[in-house]
Amino acid sequence: MSAIKEKSKMKKKNLLIIIGLILAAGIIFYFWKPGLLSKSKTAESVKAESVTGTQGHSEETKETQVKPEVAEAQETPTVEISPEKQQLIGVKITEVSVKPLQKIIRTVGRIEYDERRLGTVNTKIEGWIEKLYVDYTGRYVKKGEPLAEIYSPELVATQQEFINILKWTRQSTESRGNKYSPMISKDADAMVEAAKQRLRLWDISDAQIKKIEETGKPVRTLTIYSPVSGYIVQKMAIQGMRVMPGEKLFDVADLSTVWVVSDIYEYELSLIKTGQTAKISLSYLQGKEFSSTVDYIYPTISGETRTAKVRFTISNPGGQLKPQMFTNVEIKIDMGKRLAIPDDAVIDTGTRQIVYVDKGEGYFEPREVMLGVRTEGFREVVMGLKAGEKVVSSATFLIDSESQLKGVTPLSGHKH
Q: What is the pLDDT of residues 143-172, one digit of tens each?
A: 999 999 999 998 888 888 888 888 877 776
Q: Which residues contact 94 (CB under 8 A, 6 or more apart)?
A: 341, 342, 345, 390, 391, 392, 393
Q: Report yes or no on 265 lying in a domain.
A: yes
pLDDT: which is higher, 207 or 354: 354
Q: Sheet of 230-235: strands edge to edge?
A: 118-122, 248-253, 230-235, 140-141
Whether 123 and 229 map to the same domain: the answer is: yes
Q: Looking at the 3D structure of the chain, how many domains does it have?
A: 4
Whether 307 and 342 map to the same domain: the answer is: no
Instruction: Among 253, 272, 305, give the residue marking a domain's end.
Output: 253
Q: What is the mean predicted confidence (pLDDT) over 381-400?
A: 91
Q: Report yes or no on 34 lying in a domain.
A: yes
Predicted local confidence at residue 7, as pLDDT: 63
Q: Report yes or no on 413 lying in a domain.
A: no
Q: Report yes or no on 111 lying in a domain.
A: no
Q: How confident is the model at residue 44 (pLDDT cuts 50, 70, 90)?
A: very low
Q: Report yes or no on 112 lying in a domain.
A: no
Whether 330 and 351 map to the same domain: the answer is: no
- Can you give the residue range of the structural domain that contains 281? 257-334
Predicted local confidence at residue 173, as pLDDT: 61
Q: How confident is the model at residue 195 (pLDDT cuts 50, 70, 90)?
A: confident
Q: Average pLDDT, whole number, for the chain?
A: 82
Whether 401 and 329 map to the same domain: the answer is: no
Whether 150 and 241 map to the same domain: the answer is: yes
CA distance 388 to 15: 88
CA distance 326 to 283: 9
Predicted local confidence at residue 22, as pLDDT: 75
Report pLDDT digits (tens) over 299-325: 999 999 999 999 999 999 888 899 999
Question: Rg of the Cα trace of the chain?
Answer: 50
